Chains A and B, each alone.
Chain A
Amino acid sequence: DADVTQTPRNRITKTGKRIMLECSQTKGHDRMYWYRQDPGLGLRLIYYSFDVKDINKGEISDGYSVSRQAQAKFSLSLESAIPNQTALYFCATSDFSFRAGVSYNEQFFGPGTRLTVL
């Protein structure tokens, strides 16, 4: 977990506020991801980036935006937070490779940010 850090770890905010969650990694991986975790819904992909110039929407991108400031930094923003964005947010990284025709793409997760929107 120490290789992928997330700040803040906990945040309480009010409806309508703009909030940014930050992720930094020292693993040297090109690929970074943002997920949210809700009880009973598992891990859902919000946005992902395969390199610094690449940004892709995931399954549930509405209401979120991201910025890939550098290979090591990937931030998630909620422009106008709403209560149903209350969740546990995870950043992850991966180092994709192909060996002998087989892809390897293990994801390494940060410790998470617990966000509460009142």
Chain B
Amino acid sequence: QQQVKQSPQSLIVQKGGISIINCAYENTAFDYFPWYQQFPGKGPALLIAIRPDVSEKKEGRFTISFNKSAKQFSLHIMDSQPGDSATYFCAASPNSGYSTLTFGKGTMLLVSP
């Protein structure tokens, strides 16, 4: 069973702080690593994604760090805001036309005012 292990399960961060969520994978065929954000009552939506040819990708306050040798990747949310409070899922898939996403179990982030 292909797995993506995500931690922590929940996280409380003060406004302005840095939120860090970690994921680890086993399948070396994985080469696409997206993060999805889900607000209460909504479906998940793609937030940011990375491929293993780079070690870091930044979009605004959101950064993915990728360590291919350790088979780990993480999401960093800089200057966390209450509006960032949501559930975050990491995922992975191979570079194949017939692949599906394997999701982590999710992290509930609460940013306190």
Task: Please report which residues of chain A, range 61-109, place their CB below 8 angstroms from some CB of chain B when the two chains form the complex.
Answer: 90, 92, 96, 98, 102-103, 105-109
Number of residues on chain A facing chain B (CB within 8 A): 27
Contact A40 B44 (CB under 8 A): no
Binding site for A on B (CB under 8 A): 1, 6, 9, 32, 34, 41-46, 49, 51, 89, 93, 95-101, 103-106
Q: How far is the CA of A33 from the CA of B44 in the complex (A)?
A: 13
- Compute how far the CA of A59 lies from the CA of B102 in the bound complex, rounded to whole angstroms: 10
In the complex, per-residue mask of A26-40: 1 if CB is within 8 Å of any chain B CB, else 0: 000000010000001
Q: Is the CB of B97 within 8 A of A96?
A: yes
Tell me the complex Cα distance, A92–B103, Å: 14
Known contacts A1-B43, A90-B43; is-contact A105 B99 (Cβ 8 Å): yes
**Contact with B89, one of A42, A48, A98, A102 (Cβ below 8 angstroms):** A42
Chain B residues within an 8 Å CB radius of A92: 43
Q: Given A45-B100, A98-B97, A105-B93, are A111 and B106 also a contact pair (CB < 8 Å)?
A: no
Interfacial residues, chain A to chain B (CB-CB below 8 A): 1, 4, 33, 40-45, 48, 50, 58-59, 90, 92, 96, 98, 102-103, 105-112
The closest CB in chain A to the CB of B104 belongs to: A42
Q: Tell me what chain A mostly uses at the interface: helix, strand, loop, or mixed.
A: strand
Chain A contacts of B41 at CB under 8 A?
111-112
15 extra interface residue pairs, beta carbon distance < 8 Å, beyond A1-B42, A42-B104? A4-B43, A42-B103, A42-B105, A45-B101, A59-B1, A92-B43, A98-B97, A102-B95, A103-B96, A103-B99, A105-B93, A106-B49, A108-B45, A109-B44, A109-B45
- Give the CA-CA distance A44 to B49 in the complex, in Å: 20
Assembly CA distance A110 to B26 (angstroms)? 29
Contact assessment for A102 and B46 in the assembled complex, using a CB-CB cutoff below 8 Å: no
